Amino acid sequence: MSLPKDFQWGFATASYQIEGSIHEDGRGPSIWDTFCAIPGKIADGSSGVVACDSYKRTKEDIELLKSVGARAYRFSIAWSRIIPIGGRNDPINQKGIDHYVKFVDDLIAAGIEPFITLLHWDIPDGLDKRYGGFLNKEEFTADFEHYARVMFKAIPKCKHWITFNEPWCSSILGYNSGYFAPGRTSNRAKSAVGDSSREPWIVGHNLLVAHGKAVKVYREEFKPTQGGEIGITLNGDATLPWDPEDPLDVEACDRKIEFAISWFADPIYFGHYPESMRKQLGDRLPEWTPEEVALVKGSNDFYGMNHYTANYIKHKKGVPPEDDFLGNLETLFYNKNGDCIGPETQSFWLRPHAQGFRDLLNWLSKRYGYPKIYVTENGTSLKGENDMSLEQIVEDDFRVKYFDDYVRAMALASSEDGVNVMGYMAWSLMDNFEWAEGYETRFGVTYVDYENDQKRYPKKSAKSLKPLFDSLIRKE
Ligand code: GBH
């Protein structure tokens, strides 16, 4: 098993999860600042006000990346640092731009290749207040296009752009379950506003159109001179049938991936939504206009893949409720035989199952014609890690094994199955603000001591990736 010679690897983070300094240098509020301020939304009542303090510690973070041998770093830009209110006619904040320009210069000087995500969920709150944010197709897509253009122009040295991180999360968690900002849902115990049966599908559509517009700008105005590439990052879990003998469970496995991934990837590669979704959602799924198809179809230079876990899938009978977003099925950790899919972690949704990674890489490759894939996130939390002593925390053998198993599964997909995977970013460089789960759940290869000035302590896993990749990447 091996990986191609020019395979890129490193670590990933996101602006709101690590930066802190929410008022520094003219940053405007994002929907996550607003959401965190609502009591009960974040498990430990915390927010990204300080987080890892990375806005002020870029030098230290780059030293950390160097010390663990990283060749690439994926991070996201806080839109509200660039345009504090967010809109295309609103003032641009040069200090925000300067910050990221310098960060990229410093990364490149350190021999680390930047991968920039334009939006990792933290849309300016000003846009949400002004016109409903993601829900407003005309305004949002025009504002995102403008913001993207500002960034492409400001950072010509960046050769790998990701438009959106996990539009599934922005749509479903933001507008169906209300688990993430802006927290809209039909559940009136959680929110006074929202329509779980319609809004997520509208938001998903708008994110796709906005992605298409940004890609068009990049390809027409910047790519010819800058020579970089652009794509979107989608999340999706692997699926195994609860009962492999039941064709309906087998079918539900594909349907689950279609509702999570193909919802976005089919329009990007084929120009339409998956049949299974059209069948279940009917006219709640927006129609594609010919102009939109022209923008979105063929809009990925690479496929950005975030992947963590797997589920057994059991089909459901009867008509699904209007707020169903899974595709009329159950996701389980045990199959019909009582086999467990993988060990517990600190995240209620995450159980390691590395074979699923290889299987999903193959599933995606077959469906979308073996596109170039960058794994833009992969990693794990660790049961009870937050309650351990520092001595125990830095001996994170569970995480070392997770990376070892998953990276080897990926290498097999590459050298044995013909999957065109060309990059891998471990989630995450350091413990950080884990959204609705606050700081109790840690995903870092570096421990961050939030009680003592956010001091960083690399764990065993931080140093485990370099030898692993050195042994797998072909020398010629
Ligand atoms: C990533 O998402 C994020 O990009 C990253 O910011 C985050 O820190 C990392 O995961 C670790 O969580 O509420 O039951 O519907 C990974 C994909 C999809 C995993 C949604 C959690 C919640 C399931 N995520 N899922 S549920």
* Best probe residue, ligand 1, of 333, 345, 377, 431 (max atoms within 8 Å of C-beta): 377
Distances (CA, A) of 262 to 70, 161, 200, 259: 31, 21, 15, 6
Rounded to whole angstroms, how far apart are CA atoms 304 and 147? 21
Considering only CA atoms, which residue is closest to atom 14 of ligand 1? 349
C-beta 333 within 6 A of ligand 1 = no
Rounded to whole angstroms, how far apart are CA atoms 344 and 341? 10
Give catalytic residue positions: 166, 377
CA of 476 to the centre of ligand 1 (A): 36
Mean pLDDT, the chain, whole residue set:
98
In the predicted model, what is the mean pLDDT of residues 285-294? 98
What pLDDT is recorded for position 406? 99
Convert 373-433 into a string of H (helix), E (strand) and C (coil): EEEEECCCCCCCHHHCCHHHHCCCHHHHHHHHHHHHHHHHHHHCCCCCEEEEEEECCCCCC
CA of 130 to the centre of ligand 1 (A): 28
C-beta 434 within 6 A of ligand 1 = yes
Provide CB contacts within 8 A for 466, sequence distance 6+. 68, 69
CA of 166 to the centre of ligand 1 (A): 9
Q: Where do the domains of the chain lie, and which CATH numbers do they carry? A: 8-472 (3.20.20.80)
The closest-lying atom of ligand 1 relative to the alpha carbon of residue 121 is 6
What pLDDT is recorded for position 309? 99
pLDDT band, residue 193 (cuts 50/70/90): very high
Closest alpha carbon to 60 in 103, 117, 11, 15: 103
What pLDDT is recorded for position 462? 98
For the segment 91-101, what is each residue's pLDDT rounded down to a tens digit?
Answer: 999 999 999 99
pTM of structure: 0.99
* Best probe residue, ligand 1, of 122, 235, 257, 432 (max atoms within 8 Å of C-beta): 235
CA of 191 to the centre of ligand 1 (A): 21
For the segment 44-72, what is each residue's pLDDT rounded down to a tens digit?
Answer: 999 999 999 999 999 999 999 999 999 99
For the segment 336-391, what is each residue's pLDDT rounded down to a tens digit?
Answer: 999 999 999 999 999 999 999 999 999 999 999 999 999 999 999 999 999 999 99
C-beta 308 within 6 A of ligand 1 = yes
C-beta 346 within 6 A of ligand 1 = no
Strands 446-449 and 455-458: antiparallel
C-beta 237 within 6 A of ligand 1 = no
CA of 12 to the centre of ligand 1 (A): 14
